């Protein structure tokens, strides 16, 4: 009897792929119900002001209009309890809470009509007068001199910096970037008496449910949130935004299902973005490249709706060995919508600054930037009393990438690498991202129809969650993928984590494995207790389970019985097991360790000075993210993130009109993201070391790590090609025109 190779680690196509490619997968706005009506928000055209008159008469008399909701008639909506981690909302206030406008695009009313066209037309004739108030809409955050929060500190970084023989002192800026999932935010709300179901595009149905129950003032059991598929989210869909409650109130008032789907322009003002960061990096080193001091002082914009801290110092405290370090944080308010975590929040902009500083320090020292990383490789987590890392292979990421990229052939002289009339620049940077197991529950069920089901209240944001969960069941049970049902995206399922932080795979796999073990054990007990089964009367230690069949240990599975036959013999509809994941902070194998993923990015740019054309021509990325369950889905995540990193490096920036505070490039026409034409060959390698602190499989998740380090590798490559140091993303033609490098 040959054991087939485990599906864990085997490239596996998406089990939900056919549903998506045939259009059968239902996204939030795809849900339709009898008598469904459409809601269209009215948004403020000013950045700051007080509503002094809101006239809905014209709108209400338009054909098909059923209701116009606003501050004056929305009725009671509540805030969520501050600090309640199970009820995290995006904005502190509720919809239409007062008559103050705090950013361009803020919802001030919502029109509900029989058709989308009628609602859109009526929304355009809601008349509003504002008393203008002062607005802060400038993008630069300026010379902040207020209080700072110390995020991490050791030694005496200021004294060490002052006396360091070699110094780097520079400020790096990342602009506001906007989440651009292909699927727009949408809520379809259906009431049944005092119970409500929301079809949402949510990265966290369980949290969404609690928030909505608190906001609407309903018992939590009266609310159900469904998100079967997401057209991505990038963090913008982690927590609810006010439009969901607006739609819910309208549907309750009208006693009809309501659909509210944002348009792309609204996606730029009312559902989050990565805030601007200005990060002051100071590095001190000995002449042979040993880091002596590291200061990372950052500031990001927040809004008048929140106190959002981007967390740029996430990776800084542990990434390199340095005795003297401090990271500090501060926020400055702007009259923009509320920021929200965006793919790799904190670490991605933070590592742009830190790794840019490391690259510039390497140049100042005359040391290869790869060598500088190796000299300062951290052997333990110096930010946490020198506790060990659970599994850390940053150095191997760099060395593997260097070999694949051909880094050893790099001529460090600016503009020196030329071919076919083009000038090539090479740059590198390191990457890191958090890892941990979150508490969660999954149930695994043998069904009488011969299928196996797994249920968990998490969701597949588009990364392959359905598939990796099925792989675990296939691995545990030997049941083929086409007989496995993965049921996610419903708040009535057992508690599952948000699709955020790249934490779902690493967390939920353990609960599924545990649930599968439990279900198998129960099935074996049932089989042994049931007359007529091949294992009837056997003691538990003599019963085995192989490829979906219960049999006597030591005998071939063919001599046993399929689980569906066991259930039939026992007259059972199903046998199930519940599994739980022990959170890292309670797990003896993890709690005294420092858990992170790592990576190294190697970028080649090609520069054509005659036409000022800069493009990324090659990327090699090496990722240390624990065991990779599905190399196909994982490589897809990493290359997608690298493409996003090319956008971050060369294209993305949300620009606010300085007259109105409007995100002036807030559309797919004007907001540039990297597309196929901008994307080169991307070579993705996984080191694939299982992390013993992550449970049975040792997987850490890969949704975000691939974006970290791309932008600083690009700016280093740009410098190498052109001699221009760009410390403010994105790199623009205007920057590059300063280059003195010419084609010979
Ligand atoms: Mo991610 S920014 O945690 O969705």
**Model confidence over 272-316: pLDDT tens digits?**
999 999 999 999 999 999 999 999 999 999 999 899 999 999 999
Token readout for 350 is: 């933070």
Pocket test for ligand 1, best of 704, 705, 706, 708 (most atoms within 8 A of CB): 704
Q: Please give the Cα distance from 147 to 404 (Å, whole number).
A: 46
Q: Please give the Cα distance from 38 to 117 (Å, whole number).
A: 9
Pocket test for ligand 1, best of 90, 185, 235 (most atoms within 8 A of CB): 235
- Ligand 1 near 430 CB (within 6 A): no
How far, in Å, from the CA of 179 to the mean position of ligand 1?
10
Pocket test for ligand 1, best of 202, 312, 341, 497 (most atoms within 8 A of CB): 341
- Ligand 1 nearest-atom number relative to CA 236: 4
Pocket test for ligand 1, best of 177, 314, 500 (most atoms within 8 A of CB): 500
- Ligand 1 near 235 CB (within 6 A): yes
Rg of the chain in Å (alpha carbons)? 28
- Ligand 1 near 501 CB (within 6 A): yes
- Ligand 1 nearest-atom number relative to CA 461: 4
Q: Please give the Cα distance from 85 to 9 (Å, whole number).
A: 34
Phi, psi angles (nearest 5°) of residue 127: -95, 130
- Ligand 1 near 343 CB (within 6 A): yes
Q: Which of 571, 492, 487 is nearest to 529 (CA)?
A: 571
**Long-range contacts of residues 662-669, Cβ cutoff 8 Å, at least 24 apart:** 662/45, 662/104, 662/105, 662/269, 663/104, 663/105, 663/178, 663/268, 663/269, 666/178, 666/264, 666/265, 666/267, 666/268, 666/269, 667/264, 667/265, 667/268, 668/180, 668/264
Contacts of 4 (CB under 8 A, 6+ apart): none
- Ligand 1 nearest-atom number relative to CA 237: 4
Token readout for 450 is: 């011969």
- Ligand 1 near 463 CB (within 6 A): no
- DSSP output for 97-145: -SSEE-STT-EEEEEEESSHHHHHHHHTT-EEEEEE------S------
Give the residue carrying structure tokens 């695009």. Answer: 105
- Ligand 1 nearest-atom number relative to CA 345: 2
Indicate which residue's Cα is closest to atom 4 of ligand 1.
235
Give the residue carrying structure tokens 């296939």. Answer: 474
- Ligand 1 near 433 CB (within 6 A): no
pLDDT < 70 stretches in the chain: 1-4, 743-744
Q: Please give the Cα distance from 712 to 503 (Å, whole number).
A: 25
pLDDT one-digit tens code per residue, 311-356: 999 999 999 999 999 999 999 999 999 999 999 999 999 999 999 9
- Ligand 1 nearest-atom number relative to CA 235: 4
Q: Which of 45, 51, 178, 53 is nearest to 106 (CA)?
A: 45
Check residue 391 and report its DSSP letter: S
Contacts of 268 (CB under 8 A, 6+ apart): 105, 178, 654, 663, 666, 667, 671
How far, in Å, from the CA of 427 to the mean position of ligand 1?
27
User: What's the pLDDT score for residue 2?
Assistant: 42
CB-CB neighbours of 358 under 10 Å? 27
User: What's the pLDDT score for residue 1?
Assistant: 38
- Ligand 1 nearest-atom number relative to CA 233: 4
- Ligand 1 near 341 CB (within 6 A): yes
Terminal CA-CA length for the chain: 68
How far, in Å, from the CA of 235 to the mean position of ligand 1?
4
Active-site positions? 704
Contacts of 702 (CB under 8 A, 6+ apart): 502, 505, 597, 623, 625, 628, 634, 637, 638
Phi, psi angles (nearest 5°) of residue 215: -65, -40
How far, in Å, from the CA of 304 to the mean position of ligand 1?
22
- Ligand 1 near 438 CB (within 6 A): no
Within 431-494, residue ranges assigned H as helices are 465-477
Q: Please give the Cα distance from 431 to 429 (Å, whole number).
A: 7
Pocket test for ligand 1, best of 179, 238, 706 (most atoms within 8 A of CB): 238
How far, in Å, from the CA of 233 to the mean position of ligand 1?
8
How far, in Å, from the CA of 312 to the mean position of ligand 1?
14
- Residue 22 · residue 91 · CB < 8 Å: no
- Ligand 1 near 502 CB (within 6 A): no
How far, in Å, from the CA of 413 to the mean position of ligand 1?
39
Check residue 495 and report its DSSP letter: B
- Residue 604 · residue 428 · CB < 8 Å: no
How far, in Å, from the CA of 234 to the mean position of ligand 1?
5
How far, in Å, from the CA of 238 to the mean position of ligand 1?
7
- Residue 192 · residue 224 · CB < 8 Å: no
How far, in Å, from the CA of 239 to the mean position of ligand 1?
10
How far, in Å, from the CA of 143 to the mean position of ligand 1?
30
User: What's the pLDDT score for residue 417?
Assistant: 97
Contacts of 121 (CB under 8 A, 6+ apart): 62
- Ligand 1 near 345 CB (within 6 A): yes
- Ligand 1 near 203 CB (within 6 A): yes
Q: Please give the Cα distance from 459 to 28 (Å, whole number).
A: 13
How far, in Å, from the CA of 185 to the mean position of ligand 1?
15
- Ligand 1 nearest-atom number relative to CA 502: 3
- Ligand 1 nearest-atom number relative to CA 500: 3
SS3 524: helix
- Ligand 1 near 238 CB (within 6 A): yes
Contacts of 497 (CB under 8 A, 6+ apart): 204, 438, 440, 458, 503, 504, 507, 508
Pocket test for ligand 1, best of 177, 230, 308, 343 (most atoms within 8 A of CB): 343
Angle between helices 631-650 and 710-722 (to 10 degrees): 50
User: What's the pLDDT score for residue 47?
Assistant: 98
What global pTM score does this model have?
0.97
- Ligand 1 nearest-atom number relative to CA 340: 2
């Amino acid at each position: 009897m040959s054991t087939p190779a485990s599906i864990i680690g085997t490239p596996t196509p998406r089990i939900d792929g056919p549903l998506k490619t045939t259009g059968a997968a239902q996204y939030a706005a795809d849900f339709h119900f009898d008598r469904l009506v459409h809601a269209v928000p009215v948004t403020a055209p000013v950045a700051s002001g007080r509503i002094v008159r809101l006239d809905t008469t014209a709108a209400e008399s338009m054909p098909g209009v059923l209701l116009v909701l606003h501050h004056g008639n929305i009725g009671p909506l509540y805030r969520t309890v501050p600090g309640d981690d199970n009820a995290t909302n995006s904005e502190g206030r509720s919809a239409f809470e007062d008559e103050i406008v705090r950013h361009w695009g803020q919802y001030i009313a919502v029109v509900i009509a029989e058709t989308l066209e009628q609602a859109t037309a009526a929304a355009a004739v809601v008349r509003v007068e504002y008393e203008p108030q002062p607005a802060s809409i400038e993008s630069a955050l300026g010379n902040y001199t207020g209080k700072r929060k110390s995020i991490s500190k050791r030694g005496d970084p200021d004294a060490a910096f002052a006396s360091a023989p070699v110094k780097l002192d520079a400020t790096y800026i990342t602009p506001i970037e906007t989440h651009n999932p292909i699927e727009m935010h949408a809520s379809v709300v259906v009431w049944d008496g005092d119970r409500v179901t929301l079809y949402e595009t949510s990265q966290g149905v369980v949290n969404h449910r609690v928030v909505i129950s608190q906001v609407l003032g309903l018992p939590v059991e009266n609310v159900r949130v469904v998100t079967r598929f997401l057209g991505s989210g990038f963090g913008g869909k982690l927590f609810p935004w006010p439009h969901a409650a607006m739609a819910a109130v309208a549907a309750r008032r009208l006693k009809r299902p309501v659909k509210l789907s944002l348009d792309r322009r609204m996606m730029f003002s009312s559902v989050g973005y990565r805030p601007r960061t200005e990060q002051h990096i100071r590095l001190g080193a000995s002449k042979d490249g040993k880091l002596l001091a590291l200061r990372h002082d950052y500031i990001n914009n927040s809004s008048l709706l929140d106190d959002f801290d981007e967390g740029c110092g996430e990776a800084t405290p542990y990434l390199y060995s340095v005795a003297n370090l401090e990271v500090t944080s501060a926020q400055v308010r702007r009259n923009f919508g509320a920021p929200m975590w965006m793919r790799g929040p904190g670490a991605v902009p933070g590592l742009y600054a830190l790794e840019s500083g490391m690259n510039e320090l390497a140049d100042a020292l005359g040391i290869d930037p790869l060598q500088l990383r190796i000299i300062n490789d951290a052997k333990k987590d110096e930010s946490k009393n020198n506790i060990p890392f659970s599994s850390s292979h940053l150095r191997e990421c760099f060395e593997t990438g260097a070999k694949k990229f051909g880094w050893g052939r790099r001529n460090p002289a600016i503009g020196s690498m030329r071919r076919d009339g083009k000038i090539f620049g090479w740059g590198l940077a390191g990457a890191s991202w958090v890892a941990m197991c979150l508490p969660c529950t999954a149930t695994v069920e043998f069904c009488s129809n011969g299928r196996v089901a797994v249920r968990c209240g998490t969701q597949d944001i588009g990364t392959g969650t359905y598939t990796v969960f099925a792989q675990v069941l296939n691995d545990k049970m030997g049941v083929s993928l086409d007989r496995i049902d993965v049921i996610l995206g419903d708040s009535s399922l057992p508690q599952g984590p948000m699709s955020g932080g790249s934490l779902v795979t690493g967390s939920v796999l353990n609960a599924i494995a545990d649930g599968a073990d439990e279900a198998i054990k129960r099935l074996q007990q049932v089989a042994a207790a049931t007359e007529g089964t091949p294992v009837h009367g056997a003691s538990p230690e003599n019963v085995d389970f192989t490829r979906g069949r219960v049999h006597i240990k030591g005998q071939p599975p063919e001599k046993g019985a399929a689980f569906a036959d066991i259930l039939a013999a026992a007259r059972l509809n199903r046998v199930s097991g519940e599994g739980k994941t022990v959170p890292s902070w309670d797990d003896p194998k993890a709690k005294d360790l420092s858990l992170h993923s790592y990576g190294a990015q190697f970028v080649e740019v090609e520069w054509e000075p005659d036409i000022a054309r800069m493009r990324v021509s090659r990327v090699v990325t090496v990722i240390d993210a624990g065991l990779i369950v599905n190399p196909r889905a994982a490589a897809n995540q990493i290359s997608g993130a690298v493409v996003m990193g090319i956008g971050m490096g060369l294209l993305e920036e949300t620009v606010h009109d300085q007259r109105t505070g409007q995100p002036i490039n807030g559309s797919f026409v004007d907001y540039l993201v990297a597309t196929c034409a901008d994307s080169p060959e991307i070579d993705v390698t996984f080191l694939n070391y299982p992390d013993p602190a992550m449970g049975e499989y040792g997987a850490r998740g890969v949704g975000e790590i691939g974006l970290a380090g791309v932008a600083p590798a690009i700016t280093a490559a740009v410098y190498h090609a052109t001699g221009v140091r760009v410390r403010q993303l994105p790199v623009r033609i205007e920057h590059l025109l300063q280059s003195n490098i010419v084609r010979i």
